[in-house]
Amino acid sequence: MRYWGWYLVLFVGLLSWASAWGKPFTFEVAFSELEEIPRIETSPFVSIEPDRGNFGLYRPGDPIVLSLASERDGYVSVFDYSPQGEARILRNNEFFVAGSSQKIYGTVTGPEGTERFLMVLTPKRIPDRLLVEAMRRPTKLRSLLGEDIHVQHCAITVTRERVLAPSFLRFDRVPQEVAPGARVRLRVFLGDEVGNALVNRRIQWEVSAGKLDRYQTFTNTSGFSEVWYTAPALLEDQEVTIRASFDGDMVYGSSFEEARLIVRAERMLTVLELSPKAFHLGSGEVIDFVAVLQDVRGKPLEGETLRWRANMGSFEQNETVTDASGRARNRFFAPQVEVQESVEIQVFFDGTARFSPSQGYASGTVSGAGIYLGEGFYFLDVSNGKVKTNLEDLVYQGDIGKGFSPNPVFSLLLAVDGFVEGTFFLSQPLQEGALCLWGRAEDRGTLRVYVNGKLGFAGAVQGGRGGPLEVQIVSLAPFLELGKNTVRIEFEPAVRGARYALQRILVVF
C-alpha cells in the first residue's frame, strides 16, 4: 500500500490546488448543486473521510486530515466545496492502484458552515475542460464522465470559537450507604446558570465499583436523566464514586458532577472461644485465660478489643486487644472465700461496623482450703510457691517448681525417693473419708499412697500438664484409726528423670 502526504490548506480550511500553470481552479457553484451533493449515488470501492468523522466539528485553526482509499485502479480527483459555494480542486487525476490510500493534511481557516468534499475515480484521465464542468455541476457527473466511475463524498462542520453559556449538573438524593448487591436509582439534573432545564442533552456516566444499567443517557423535558446502579458484592466496606458529565454543545459548555456513597459490607459473624472452659482454684489463686476471636471463616481478627467480666474475683485487665492470631490473654485472681463458690467468667466482643458481637464463657469453682482448719478437713497446698498445710509433723523430699499446669501455679516435684508425709487426728470413729490429690507425672511412673503404714493405693499416673479439675481420689475409710493417723505419698519413676508434680492434697471426711 502506498501513501502520499500532501500539505494543503483547505479554505474553510484548505489551500487550493494549483494547476500546472500556477492558477487555482476556483469558481462559483450554484447552491442548488451543493444541496444535491449528499444525494449523489456513492460507490463502496472508494472512500474519503475526515479525521473527526463525517460532519465532524472543526474550528478555525484546527488541523484536519482527509483519508482517501480505493479498491480499484484509476484516476482520482477530489473537489472541495465551501459553505459559500466556491469550488476548488484538491486532487487532479492522481493515479491510484487498487488497495492504495493517501492522506491530505491541512488547517481549517473558516468561514462557518458545512464544507463538502467529493471524490471521483475514473478509468481514464479527465480533460481539464471536462473536469471544470464536472466540478461546477456535480449532479451531472455520470452524464459528463460516463457511467464507469466511482463516487464518494463527505462533509465537515466549521464553527468559530464561541463564548459558551455555562451548564451545571446536580445529583438528586444519593444515599450515603448501600448494602452489597443493592440496586439504587441515581438521577442528575442538567441546567443552565439560572436553573432552566437543558433538554435532550447526552449525559455520560462512570462508576468506580459496581455497574450501571446504562452508561449514556439523555435528559428528559425536565432536564433530568437517570440510571440504575448495582453495588458490588463485598466483604469489606468500600467508597464508590459515581461521575456524570455533559460534554457541552454549540451553546452550552461542558460540566460534570461526582457523588460518593459507601457500600457497607454486611456484618460478618464472629466466634469468641475462651479457655480453659472449666477450672477449680483455691482461695486467692490465679489462672490465665486465653480468648480467641475469629470470623465465621476461621480468620483471626487482629486489633479488636475484648471486655472481661467475672461474678467474683478480678482480672489483671478489664480490656485486652487481640494479636495477629486473634488471641488475647488475661489473668484472673480468685477471691478469698470461706466456702466453695461458683465463678462465672465472661469475655465480650462488642462488634464493629464489619463484624457482629460475640461472647465467650467459662465456669469453675473456688474453694476455701486455707480457711477450714481442724478435724474433718486437712490440706497441703504449694500452688503459690510455699508449702501451706494443717497436717501435723509434715515432712517431704522434693523441689518446688512450676510449669506443670495451665495455671501459673507451683507444684511439689517428687523424683526418685521423693515423698510427702504428715499426720492428722480423729477424736471419733468415721465411716467415710477420702484423700484427694491434684498432680501429674512429668513422665511415666507409679504413685503409692499409704495410710497408717497400709497401702491404700498404687497405680500408674498420667503424664502431661495437670488441669485444675483433674483429681485423683483415694478412699481412706478402711484404714482410719482413732487418734493419730499418718498419710504418706511416694512416687516411683518408670524412666530415668521422671517426676510427679503434686500441687494440692485434701483429706476430707
* CA-to-CA separations, 96 to 25, 73, 91, 124, 131, in angstroms, rounded: 22, 6, 11, 11, 18
Q: Chain centroid to CA 486: how far?
A: 70
In a domain, 372, yes or no: no
Q: Are 141 and 151 in contact (CB under 8 A)?
A: yes
In a domain, 354, yes or no: yes
Give the span between the Cα atoms of 89 and 135, in whole angstroms: 8
What per-residue confidence (pLDDT) applies to 12? 37
Sorted by sequence, the CB contacts under 8 Å of residue 416 that are 6+ apart come out as: 492, 493
Give the span between the Cα atoms of 92 and 94, in whole angstroms: 6
**252-255 contacts at long range (C-beta below 8 A, 24 or more positions apart):** 252/164, 252/165, 252/166, 252/167, 252/192, 252/198, 252/201, 253/164, 253/165, 253/166, 253/167, 254/167, 255/166, 255/167, 255/168, 255/169, 255/190
Give the span between the Cα atoms of 66 and 50, in whole angstroms: 5
CATH number for the domain spanning 30: value is 2.60.40.2550
pLDDT in tens, the chain (509 residues): 223 344 343 433 333 333 322 345 578 899 889 899 999 999 999 999 999 998 888 888 889 999 999 999 999 999 999 888 889 899 999 999 999 999 999 888 778 889 999 999 999 999 988 988 999 999 999 999 999 999 999 999 888 766 789 999 999 999 999 988 899 999 999 999 999 999 999 999 999 999 999 999 999 999 999 999 999 987 778 899 999 999 988 789 899 999 999 998 878 889 999 999 988 887 778 899 999 999 988 999 999 999 999 999 889 899 999 999 999 999 998 887 777 888 999 999 999 878 889 999 999 888 764 433 445 678 888 888 888 888 889 999 988 888 777 667 788 888 888 899 999 888 776 667 788 888 888 878 888 999 999 988 888 876 665 554 467 888 887 888 888 899 999 998 888 888 888 888 888 87
With cell 475462651, the residue in question is: 274
Q: How many CB atoms lie within 10 A of CB 14?
A: 25
Among the candidates 325, 341, 367, a domain finishes at 367
Structural domain for 327, as ranges: 270-367
In a domain, 316, yes or no: yes
Pick from 148, 244, 229: nearest CA to 189: 244
Q: Are residues 100 and 55 in the same domain?
A: yes
Give the span between the Cα atoms of 493 and 32, in whole angstroms: 122
Pick from 377, 358, 357: nearest CA to 367: 377
Among the candidates 313, 344, 367, a domain finishes at 367
Among the candidates 337, 367, 397, a domain finishes at 367
Between the two ends of the chain, the Cα-to-Cα distance in Å is 113
248 Rama class: left (phi>0) / alpha (psi -120 to 50) / beta: left
pLDDT in tens, 126-180: 998 898 899 999 999 999 999 999 999 999 988 876 678 999 999 999 999 998 8
Q: Are residues 232 and 275 in the same domain?
A: no
Give the span between the Cα atoms of 401 and 502, in whole angstroms: 10
Pick from 47, 57, 76: nearest CA to 12: 57
Give the span between the Cα atoms of 352 and 103, in whole angstroms: 65
What per-residue confidence (pLDDT) applies to 111? 80
370 Rama class: left (phi>0) / alpha (psi -120 to 50) / beta: alpha
Q: Are residues 422 and 334 in the same domain?
A: no
Helix (H, G, I), strand (E, B) or coil at 422: strand
What per-residue confidence (pLDDT) applies to 1? 28
pLDDT in tens, 206-252: 999 999 999 999 999 999 999 999 999 877 788 999 999 999 887 89
CATH number for the domain spanning 279: value is 2.60.40.10
Q: Are 433 and 508 in contact (CB under 8 A)?
A: yes
Q: Are residues 360 and 274 in the same domain?
A: yes
User: 0.75 exceeded by the pTM?
Assistant: no
Q: Chain centroid to CA 23: how far?
A: 71
What per-residue confidence (pLDDT) applies to 201? 93
Q: Are residues 147 and 15 in the same domain?
A: yes
